[in-house]
């Protein structure tokens, strides 16, 4: 029962429609009353007060405290204003009215707040389920076969040229969850997401490249977005796609751990660079040559990807940074300085990607950066980091996407652009030509 509730789709389907219809009906009921002068005055005050509350929230949370590291987008602000005004109308409807109208008004407050949450969530599009929204991973175990079970499959070779899908190969990949033991780190991570492409679901699958994907903060190790993108690429490339492990760099509290080992949040870096690779090597049918290993990330995860990829070219030869943050804890540097670095500013500065890249020569590494033109802060970060990566000798591509803000559209568009470049590098499509995806 609980898992069913946590798995409820709040982006599409009947639930959001029902919520919005219920909210609209509640507002109509509250407004349908005799237009007396006191009621019209109270209604005007409610609308003005609700709008002022929304502006105050924007000033404090976005402009003054910068809790979110930039603008949240016009859709979020409109939903916030509409919610505040609707709640204010419900509050003034509690006074000098019939008992049943007071009950409706009390219930309407909850309905309006739920409408606001669902509407804002839909604007970003990153949390598909109730569990996603609450940072809870619903277990969906996937059966894995270790590499030893596929001794006949080739270790290396140009997959794009010799792999042909067998009859009966599934048309789409499989998504689910796996629990990665934190043997070296002890980090309390949530279950990782996993994506197995069509080629991996055949009776004698080839060894495939692997991607370690890191999502944003707040966020979840959800394989849905990357699986959606790679299913489209697999359709045009004989079922070939990387196996993807969506690792959790945040923990159950959804904290900004900066991907680092710290006394406050535990050994996150050790988890991502020792425990996760060890699990991949022992449990997944992937190529052991790390030329075919990629670390990718979105937003908070994008910063982690460029930082870890720059530190550990022995593990990851390809980096994908989609709308990545500038440095660890960039949305709240003061708190991150205290929590992650024990107020040691010099240590904080050394952990920033620009400092990590400085003086390095990473000529065997490929990096792809993407961000949206209508997300100017993150576009600036992507351009700065792409130039620093070029200076460090990487083979770099920078994609400025026309639109998408800092939402699901930015993630999907960024992954689509990045994998078009990365497929040839991973031997999944013809070298020298962008791969075809969605």
Q: What is the secondary structure of 367-381 as a DSSP string? A: EEEEEETT-HHHHHH
Answer for the pair 228, 414: CB distance below 8 angstroms, yes or no: no
pLDDT at 136: 84
pLDDT tens profile 56-87:
998 888 788 777 766 778 889 999 999 999 99
| Residue 184 and residue 275 in one domain | yes
DSSP state letters, 276-300: HHHHHHHHS-B-SSGGGEEEEEETH
| Residue 114 and residue 19 in one domain | yes
| Residue 27 and residue 111 in one domain | yes
Report whether pLDDT(153) > 70: no
Number of structural domains the chain divides into: 2
pLDDT at 135: 82
pLDDT at 332: 86
| Residue 99 and residue 146 in one domain | no
| Residue 104 and residue 151 in one domain | no
Tell me whether residue 437 is in a domain.
no
Report whether pLDDT(151) > 50: no
DSSP state letters, 332-388: SHHHHHHHHHTT-HHHHHHTSHHHHHTT---TT-EEEEEEETT-HHHHHHHHHHHHH
| Residue 219 and residue 247 in one domain | yes
Question: What mean pLDDT is predicted for residues 367-382?
Answer: 95
Closest CA to 336 of 63, 72, 69: 69
Q: How confident is the model at residue 137 (pLDDT cuts 50, 70, 90)?
A: confident
* Whole-number Cα distances in Å, 224 to 196, 230, 347, 418: 12, 10, 36, 17
DSSP state letters, 154-192: -SSS-HHHH--PPTT--SS-EEEEEPPP-TTT---PPPE
Question: What mean pLDDT is predicted for residues 331-336?
Answer: 88
12: which residues sit within 8 A by CB, 6+ positions away? none
| Residue 82 and residue 202 in one domain | no
Interatomic CA distance for residues 362 and 312, integer angstroms: 10
| Residue 99 and residue 159 in one domain | no
Domain that holds residue 119: 2-124
278: which residues sit within 8 A by CB, 6+ positions away? 183, 184
Percentage with pLDDT > 90 across the chain? 72
Last residue of a domain, one of 100, 124, 148: 124
| Residue 81 and residue 221 in one domain | no
Tell me whether residue 318 is in a domain.
yes
Give how far the C-alpha of residue 230 lies from the chain's centroid of Cα atoms, to the nearest Å: 15
Closest CA to 244 of 104, 117, 418, 44: 418
Q: How confident is the model at residue 95 (pLDDT cuts 50, 70, 90)?
A: confident
Tell me whether residue 436 is in a domain.
no
Kindly tell me the sign of the dihedral angle through the C-alpha atoms of 96, 98, 103, 108.
Answer: negative
pLDDT tens profile 194-212:
999 999 999 889 999 999 9
| Residue 86 and residue 228 in one domain | no
| Residue 374 and residue 239 in one domain | yes
Between 153-167, 246-260, 323-337, the lowest mean confidence (pLDDT) is in 153-167
| Residue 102 and residue 162 in one domain | no
Answer for the pair 177, 122: CB distance below 8 angstroms, yes or no: no
Question: What mean pLDDT is predicted for residues 40-52?
Answer: 93
Report whether pLDDT(152) > 50: no
Q: Please state, rounded to an integer, the average pLDDT across all residues of the chain.
A: 92
Between 26-40, 81-95, 127-141, 216-230, the lowest mean confidence (pLDDT) is in 127-141
Between residues 96 and 171, which one has the greater pLDDT?
171
Tell me whether residue 81 is in a domain.
yes
Question: What crossing angle do the helices spanning 300-311 and 376-391 adopt, rounded to 10°?
Answer: 10
Report whether pLDDT(99) > 60: yes
Mode of pairing for the β-strands spanning 192-196 and 243-247: antiparallel
Q: What CATH number does the domain containing 157 carry?
A: 3.40.50.1820
């Amino acid at each position: 029962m609980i898992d069913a509730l946590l798995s409820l789709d709040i982006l599409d389907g009947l639930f959001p429609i029902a919520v919005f219809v219920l909210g609209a009906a509640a507002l109509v009921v509250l407004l349908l009353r005799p237009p007396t002068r006191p009621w019209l005055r109270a209604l005007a005050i409610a609308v003005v007060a609700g709008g002022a509350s929304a502006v105050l929230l924007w000033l404090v949370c976005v402009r003054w405290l910068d809790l979110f590291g930039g603008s949240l987008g016009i859709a979020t602000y409109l939903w916030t204003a509409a919610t505040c005004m609707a709640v204010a109308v419900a509050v003034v409807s509690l006074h000098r009215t019939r008992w049943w109208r007071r009950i409706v008004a009390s219930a309407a407050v909850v309905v309006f707040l739920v409408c606001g949450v669902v509407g804002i969530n839909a604007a970003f599009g990153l949390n598909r389920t109730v569990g996603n929204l609450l940072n809870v991973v619903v277990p969906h175990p996937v059966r894995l076969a270790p590499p030893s079970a596929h001794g006949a499959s080739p270790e290396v070779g140009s997959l794009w040229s010799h792999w042909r899908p067998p009859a009966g190969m599934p048309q789409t990949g499989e998504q689910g969850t796996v629990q990665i033991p934190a043997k070296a780190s002890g980090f309390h991570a949530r279950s990782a997401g996993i994506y197995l492409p069509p080629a991996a679901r055949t009776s004698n699958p080839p060894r495939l490249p692997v991607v370690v994907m890191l999502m944003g903060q707040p966020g979840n190790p959800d394989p849905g977005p990357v699986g959606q993108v790679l299913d489209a690429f697999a359709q045009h490339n004989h079922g070939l796609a990387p196996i993807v492990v969506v690792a959790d760099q945040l923990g159950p509290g959804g904290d900004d751990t900066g991907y680092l080992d710290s006394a406050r949040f535990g050994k996150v870096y050790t988890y991502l660079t020792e425990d996760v690779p060890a699990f991949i090597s022992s449990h997944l049918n992937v190529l052991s040559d790390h030329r075919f290993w990629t670390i990718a990330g979105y937003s908070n995860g994008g910063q982690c990807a460029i930082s870890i990829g720059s530190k550990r070219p022995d593990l990851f030869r390809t980096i994908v940074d989609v709308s990545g943050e500038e440095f660890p804890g960039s949305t709240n540097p003061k708190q991150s300085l205290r929590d992650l670095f024990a107020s040691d500013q010099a240590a904080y500065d050394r952990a920033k990607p620009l400092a990590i890249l400085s003086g390095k020569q990473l000529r065997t590494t490929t990096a792809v950066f993407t961000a949206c033109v209508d997300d100017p802060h993150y576009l600036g970060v992507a351009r700065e980091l792409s130039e620093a990566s070029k200076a460090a000798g990487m083979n770099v591509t920078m994609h400025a996407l026309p639109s998408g803000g800092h939402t699901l559209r930015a993630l999907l568009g960024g992954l689509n652009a990045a994998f078009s470049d990365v497929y040839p590098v991973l031997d999944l499509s013809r070298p020298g030509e962008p791969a075809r995806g969605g």
